[in-house]
Amino acid sequence: MIDKLLKKVKDEKFEYIDFKFSDIYGSWRHITIPADQFTDKTFVNGIGVDGSSIGFLSVKAGDMILIPDPEVYFTDPFWKDPTLSVLANICEVNPTEPHRRDPRFTARKAADSLNSLLPGTAAMMGPEFEFYLFDEVRYNQEPNRAFYFLDSVEAEWKSRDASPYGEGTGVNRGHQIRYKEGYHAAPPRDKTYEVRAYICKLFKNAGINIKYHHHEVGGASQQEIEVGFAPMMEMADKSMLAKYLIKNGAVACGKSASFMPKPLFMEPGSGLHVHQYLARDGVSIFYDPRDPLKLSEIGRHYLGGILKHAPALLAFTNPSTNSYKRLVPGFEAPVRASYSVGNRTACVRIPGYIKDSKVMRMEFRSPDGTANMYLLFASMLMAGLDGIKNKIDPGYPLNVDLASLAPEEAEKYPLLPSSLERALEALANDSAFLRIGGVFSDELIDTWVKIKRNEVEQIKVRPHPWEFRLYYDV
């Protein structure tokens, strides 16, 4: 594989090699070298980085190296000079070994755990990427003032502007989208079709399979791109790539893409629903034609593990304070640990439209785009495997909208954490399933909890603008 990659660099005359790697938060970092410095020794000696600056080590022991993965690379479409991006693993030095806090290494260990429990089985993942496209973004916080400002040409509030597109013509041609009425909107209301099509072309060129793209519910330019299934490690890498292509593709089109779960009041939040199943020989082992739900025993137990550990999972699948402004009653985002067939208010949905038993699957609907993609997939898989090993029963499905249930009926389905702080408390009380086999190292979990508690504290000490509406005159 190394020789093949080096030959590609030479034959296609790349000028730069860009190494991309995930920090602990789930954002890509990168470092670039001239292509003539990219040799077989790079895969042994690596590229030096300061791990302390990206959340991995203390300043006293910050030296780390990146070891490129010769199997995962793509031509970067946003560089003027021909550049090949290669994904890299974060490693310790003396001796050279994988770093225990590296999210990509954690996902690899989770995949190995599946292979140990069920040899020859792959965890297939298929995420839905929801995001908003904004035309203008401004925000700031100072001791005496704070604000954020978001704007979109599609938004209903633009109907009052004389020149919503900024031409200075003093003419508004209408066709804005009303609040919460953007689902599958068609042109001329859907003014972002070409942006999505351009991004999907970038996906295709990078080897990411597209199922479809469409306008989402949010009228202020909420979007969705759903991709096809791939084995977990491949999909984790491709999910990082997808976010990179969406953000930079939006910039190329004069837009700003945000995966923030709840950027707008009164509009739906953006999730990152993950369809998933276990497959052997390319066929889902979650399928059983004899079961009323068509769900096999192993599928039920996998589901049971997801539901049992859902409160703790949210510390990784919904790891921002803003995440919990999306997970509120009244929208389609789940607020209780429940499952159903076709019911989108449940935490886990078994799609009711599945016709092909080979892809019998379930959809975990809680996650959002603030998650670290590697830790997102790894934590879900570890919960499902714990369910299989301990034969956890998921109970009975939820067949009605949660909002319509009487309080005593709703209590049968445990509430999910209503804040990041509570999700971290749930993780503190339920992390053993993640630590099995050292998949999630103690160092990783402890560091994750520390940085996330720090985010909670940052929000706690800052006044909120609405507090002035509530309390200024008391």
Q: Is 63 a catalytic residue?
A: no
DSSP string, 338-356: -EEES-TTSSEEE-TT---
How far apart CA 271 and CA 307 sit, in angstroms, is 18
Backbone angles phi, psi at 20, to 5 degrees: -110, 140
**CA–CA distance from 23 to each of 107, 239, 270 (Å)?**
14, 15, 23
Max intra-chain CA distance, the chain: 72
- Contact between 403 and 323 (Cβ < 8 Å): no
Q: Which of 104, 215, 273, 349 is catalytic?
A: 273
How, if at all, do strands 339-341 and 348-350 pair?
A: parallel
**CA–CA distance from 467 to each of 140, 321, 460 (Å)?**
17, 17, 12
Q: Is 365 a catalytic residue?
A: yes
- Quick check: helix, strand or coil at residue 30? strand
Q: Is 145 a catalytic residue?
A: no
Rg (CA), the chain: 23
Q: Which of 151, 156, 216, 421 is catalytic?
A: 216
- Quick check: helix, strand or coil at residue 415? strand
Residues 6+ apart with CB under 8 A from 78: 248, 252
- Contact between 456 and 420 (Cβ < 8 Å): yes
Q: Which of 69, 128, 151, 368 is catalytic?
A: 128
Q: Which of 18, 154, 156, 363 is catalytic?
A: 363
- Return the DSSP state at 295: B
| Alpha helices (H) in 119-254, listed in sequence order | 193-205, 232-252
Backbone angles phi, psi at 107, to 5 degrees: -65, -40
- Quick check: helix, strand or coil at residue 266? coil
- Contact between 380 and 365 (Cβ < 8 Å): no
- Contact between 278 and 285 (Cβ < 8 Å): yes
Q: Which of 50, 112, 297, 401 is catalytic?
A: 50
Q: Is 130 a catalytic residue?
A: yes
Q: Is 344 a catalytic residue?
A: yes
DSSP string, 374-405: HHHHHHHHHHHHHHHHTT----SPP-S-GGGS
Q: Which of 267, 365, 386, 421 is catalytic?
A: 365
Q: Which of 23, 156, 224, 368 is catalytic?
A: 224
How, if at all, do strands 283-284 and 274-280 pair?
A: antiparallel
Task: Report the chain's terminal Cα–Cα distance, integer Å.
Answer: 69
Q: Is 50 a catalytic residue?
A: yes
Residue identified by tokens 């469409």 is 214
How far apart CA 400 and CA 423 sit, in angstroms, is 26
| Alpha helices (H) in 63-171, listed in sequence order | 103-117
Q: Which of 69, 130, 267, 386 is catalytic?
A: 130
The residues annotated with a catalytic role in the active site are 50, 128, 130, 216, 224, 273, 344, 363, 365
